[in-house]
Amino acid sequence: MKIVTKHWYNYVIEYVGISLGTAIMAISLKMFLDPNTIAPGGVTGLAIVIKKLTGIPIDITNLVVNIPLFIAGIIILGKAFGAKTLYGTLALSFFIRMFPAANLTNDLLLAAVFGGVLMGLGLGLVFKFGGTTGGTDLAGAILNKFFPNFSTATLMMVIDLFVVTIAGVVDKKIETSLYSVIALYIIVKVIDIILEGIGYAKAFFIISNTPDKIGETIISALGRGVTVLKGMGMYTGQSRDVLLCVVNRSQIVKLKEIVHQIDSNAFVMVADIHEVLGEGFKEIKTD
């Protein structure tokens, strides 16, 4: 098996990407989220709440919370989080300190939307280049070691919801918590787009009495490959061929028409596919 080794410039690109991501996160915090006390979960959200209560700058709280988390992560989880997590944490605090505070809008909805988009873009870039900024994901992984009955994702959600709730309590406005939830939702969705792309494809699972004819027509008319999966009807006990075909958005309607024309009684399931790698779609990259 061929072992793919990274060149020195791959590491440079990764750290430049993490730096860019943390810089965008800092802009989101300084210009949209912090001035409006919108705390969309995580350590940065907690830092916004603490600043509201005590006046302690966000960058200081980010370091005070994340550095111990990083050390605990190494002790409890091993070195999996590594140098990029430490760099991401330090870079985020650095850019928060460097960028001047500037409230670009007092409209809470606009602040939540644009702050969420920028924060999601920044975090997405950090994740895409193999880094993290510590925070909720690290805390969730640590807590999972002590509470194995709860998944890391569940614990992360609990932490984020706690921060969102406490933001409204501190600001004495339920609207603050509600807008924080909006920002958190947008952040998650933007991260998904950055990591998985926006070129959504569709996977069709087709069960028909004429699978051969449908498969052949799809191949000839659309130029897409079709895979036959072996299935069995639980009620009838009969073996059935299940056709699997992945198409891009421009071919969705045409594929439905093909199936309807050949077998209008076919059973069709359509699933969203965020990323498809391989022949006919996006090239598989190893570096």
User: What mean pLDDT comes out for the span 82-87?
Assistant: 82
Q: How many CB atoms lie within 10 A of CB 136?
A: 24
Q: Assign 251 a pLDDT band (cuts: 50, 70, 90).
A: confident
Tell me, what's the pLDDT at 172?
A: 84
Above 70 in pLDDT, residue 57? yes
Average pLDDT over residues 43-61: 90
Could you report how far apart the first and last alpha carbons of the chain are, in Å?
A: 16
Residue range 110-154, pLDDT digits in tens: 999 999 999 999 988 988 887 778 777 778 777 877 887 876 667
CB 144 within 8 Å of CB 152: yes
Residue 50: pLDDT over 70:
yes
- Detail the DSSP E strand segments found in the chain: 201-207, 227-232, 239-248, 267-273
Percent of the chain with pLDDT strictly greater than 70: 89
Place of tokens 């050949």: 262
Does pTM top 0.75 for this prediction? Answer: no
Q: Is the pLDDT of residue 66 over 80?
A: yes
Q: What is the mean pLDDT of the chain?
A: 85
Domain ranges in the chain are: 8-196, 201-273
CA distance 259 to 252: 11
* Contact criterion met (CB below 8 Å) for 219 and 206: no
Closest CA to 259 of 249, 268, 272: 268
CATH code that applies to domain 201-273? 3.30.70.120
Residue with tokens 């850019």: 95
Q: What pLDDT is recorded for position 1?
A: 39
